[in-house]
Amino acid sequence: MSSEVARILAAAAHGEFPPPDGSTTILPQPNRRDAGVLSFTAHSVVFLDEDPEWIRAELAAASTDPLVASMTPGFHAALVARTGRYVNTVDLMTVASALPGEPEIELREIEDEDHPRVARALKYRDDVRVWSADGGVLVLGRGVAGRWEAAVEVDEDVRHRGLGRALAMAARQLTPDSVVWAQNSPGNARSVRVFQAAGFRPVGAEALLVAR
Residues 104 and 193 in one domain: yes
Same domain, 82 and 102: no
Length of the chain: 212
With respect to residue 209, please indicate whether it lies within any of the assigned structural domains: no
Residues 6 or more apart whose Cβ sits within 8 Å of residue 108: 131, 132, 133
Query: Are 80 and 139 contained in the same domain?
Result: no
Whether 65 and 137 map to the same domain: the answer is no
Regarding whether 188 and 98 lie in a shared domain, the answer is yes
pLDDT at 158 exceeding the cut of 60: yes
Question: Does 112 lie in the same domain as 61?
Answer: no
Query: What mean pLDDT comes out for the span 107-127?
Result: 82
- Measured CA to CA, the distance from residue 208 to residue 185 in angstroms comes to 12
Beta bridge partners of 140: 129, 150
Q: Choose the final residue of a domain: 60, 92, 124.
A: 92
Number of domains present in the structure of the chain: 2
Mean pLDDT throughout 133-159? Answer: 90
Question: Each residue of 64-93: pLDDT tens digit?
Answer: 999 999 999 999 999 999 999 999 999 999
Phi-psi label, residue 84: left if phi above 0, alpha if psi -120 to 50, beta otherwise? left
Backbone dihedral angles phi then psi of residue 200, each to the nearest 5 degrees: -80, 135
Residue 1's pLDDT band, with cuts at 50, 70 and 90, is very low
On whether both 84 and 124 belong to a single domain, the answer is: no
Domain stop point among 92, 113, 132: 92
Q: What is the mean pLDDT of residues 109-121?
A: 79
Quick one: pLDDT at residue 108? Answer: 94
Strand 43-47 vs strand 23-27: parallel, antiparallel, or unpaired? parallel
Q: What is the mean pLDDT of residues 121-131?
A: 88
9, exposed or middle or buried, with CB in 10 Å at 0-12, 13-18, 19+?
A: buried
Instruction: Specify whether 103 is located in the same domain as 197.
Output: yes
- pTM of the predicted model, to two decimals? 0.93
Residue 212 lies in a domain: no
Structural domain range at position 16: 4-92
Domain membership of residue 211 (yes or no) is no
Q: Is residue 61 located within the same domain as residue 122?
A: no
Determine the pLDDT at residue 112.
Answer: 76
Is 186 inside a domain boundary?
Answer: yes
Angle between helical axes of 163-174 and 189-197 (0-180°, round to 10) = 50
Q: What is the 3-state secondary structure (H, E, C) of 130-182?
A: EEEECCEEEEEEECHHHCEEEEEEECHHHCCCCHHHHHHHHHHHHCCCCEEEE
User: Are 70 and 148 part of one and the same domain?
Assistant: no
pLDDT in tens, 42-55: 999 999 999 999 99
- Looking at the structure, tell me whether residues 134 and 196 fall in a common domain: yes
Please say which residue of 66, 92, 118 terminates a domain: 92
pLDDT of residue 93: 98
73 with 17, same domain?
Answer: yes
| Residue 34, helix vs strand vs coil | coil
